[in-house]
Amino acid sequence: MGNKNQQGKGGAEQGLIVSHFGVAVEVLFDSGERRMVKVKRNSGHVVGDRVTVAGEVLNRLPRQTELSRRDARGGVHLLAANLDVLGVVLAPGTPSGFLDRAIVAARAAGLSPFVVFNKCDLPEASELGDATGRVYGGIVPCFPLSTVTGAGIEPLREFLRQGHRGAFVGTTGVGKSSLMNALCPELNLKVGALSDYNWTGRHTTTVSSLHALSGGGELVDTPGFRDFGLVDITVPELAVWFPGFEALREHRCRFNNCRHRQEPGCAVRDDVGSGAISEERYQTYLVLLSEVEALEEAAQRRNWKK
Ligand SMILES: Nc1nc2c(ncn2[C@@H]2O[C@H](COP(=O)(O)OP(=O)(O)O)[C@@H](O)[C@H]2O)c(=O)[nH]1
Ligand SMILES: [Mg+2]
């Protein structure tokens, strides 16, 4: 855990948390030195945090972004700080609505989403991949690829090389571990749907880490990203950040809390009328809106019972 005599030479040093081991973090200092620093369990530090360190005292600097997930019991867990992009990984079979929810959650957290459509080597991928490109291509960066053949990986590398710090989310089995391995071979993650868990359902690894890519850019790998949803999105977030509704940023509804159904003076319905928002996006929005409303109502009922 470091030698106290060599530390705390007067002022505190600044650095970045690059690994989190539960009771200790590894800090990469601006000097290039790496050192382990003890932390309390649940100290609130996460990978991506910038910190000052004086001896064994860790001070967290303000965050630009925070990314969290919700567990099965409704608890919110912070996963990483100061990411600027989030890769949403899809493959044939990804449930519809997953991408829209993830894009909304990423944007609400201040991250720019991009899409990775994996398993393009499979015959059933071509139609779905084309459809995804058609709908989302003009909205967020899209990378159709195959981690098996390597086709399409280079444009993604090129994108990350522009200095982005990101992570991947996606349902089990879409190929997130395979993708991380393709981009940072030193990680050598186990591939296979259940590899992140042991028989009790617990993570077999609790280490989160940040990896500098050889060409530039950084990726965060955390067990929490691998198989869970992001935090639930709210109705107001959905309306503001829904992919395909970007035209709205120039155009306001009469009512601040407009849900874009039947309200008078609704900018979304105007934009659908003029073609600035596509009918497909609008219909998909309405389906997701009903789902998010139902989830919010269920959560409220649970809170009333408490
Ligand atoms: N056909 C095909 N299979 C893939 C591809 N990428 C990953 N897989 C397979 O999909 C399964 C799940 O991959 P994994 O990386 O563990 O997914 P994760 O659960 O998202 O981390 C494994 O059997 C992989 O071999 C791909 O590009 N094409
Ligand atoms: Mg995995």
Ligand nearest to the CA of 196: 2
Q: Does residue 225 carry a pLDDT above 70?
A: no
Nearest CA to ligand 1 atom 23: 192
Question: Which one has a higher pLDDT value, 80 or 232?
Answer: 80
Q: Is 28 in the pocket of ligand 1 (CB under 6 A)?
A: no
Cα–Cα distance list, 154 to 17, 56, 166, 170 (Å) = 28, 41, 16, 20
Distance from residue 180's CA to the centre of ligand 2 (Å):
9
pLDDT at residue 273, as a whole number: 95
Q: How many CB atoms lie within 10 A of CB 76?
A: 11
Longest CA pairwise span in the chain (Å):
70
pLDDT at residue 299, as a whole number: 82
Nearest CA to ligand 1 atom 14: 175
Question: Which one has a higher pLDDT value, 61 or 250?
Answer: 61
Least-confidence region, from 62-66, 181-185, 229-233: 229-233
Q: Is 147 in the pocket of ligand 1 (CB under 6 A)?
A: yes
Ligand 2 is an ion; its neighbours by CB within 5 Å are 177, 226
Question: Which one has a higher pLDDT value, 1 or 13?
Answer: 13
CA–CA gap between residue 212 and residue 111 (Å, rounded): 19
Q: Does residue 212 carry a pLDDT above 80?
A: yes
pLDDT at residue 198, as a whole number: 45
Q: Is 181 in the pocket of ligand 1 (CB under 6 A)?
A: no
CA–CA gap between residue 7 and residue 10 (Å, rounded): 9
The closest alpha carbon to 271, from 291, 249, 241, belongs to 249
User: How sure is the predictor about 288, in pLDDT bands with cuts at 50, 70 and 90?
Assistant: very high
User: How sure is the predictor about 96, in pLDDT bands with cuts at 50, 70 and 90?
Assistant: confident
Nearest CA to ligand 1 atom 8: 175
- Calculate the dihedral angle through the C-alpha atoms of 90, 91, 94, 96, rounding to the nearest 10 degrees: 70
pLDDT at residue 224, as a whole number: 61
Mean per-residue pLDDT over the chain, rounded: 87
Overall average pLDDT of the 168-182 stretch: 92
Sorted by where each begins, the domain ranges of the chain are: 4-60, 66-227, 235-305
pLDDT at residue 306, as a whole number: 65
Q: Which pTM value belongs to this model?
A: 0.89
* Residue range 235-305 in CATH 1.10.40.30: no
The residue whose two tokens read 């200095």 is 163
Distance from residue 172's CA to the centre of ligand 2 (Å):
7
269: tokens are 């319905």
Q: Is 38 helix (H, G, I), strand (E, B) or coil?
A: strand
pLDDT at residue 97, as a whole number: 87
Q: What is the pLDDT of residues 7-64, one digit of tens each?
A: 444 578 999 999 998 889 999 999 999 999 999 888 899 999 999 999 889 999 999 9
CATH code given to domain 4-60: 2.40.50.140
CATH code given to domain 66-227: 3.40.50.300
Q: What is the pLDDT of residues 143-166, one digit of tens each?
A: 999 999 999 999 999 999 999 999
Atom of ligand 1 nearest to the CA of 178: 15
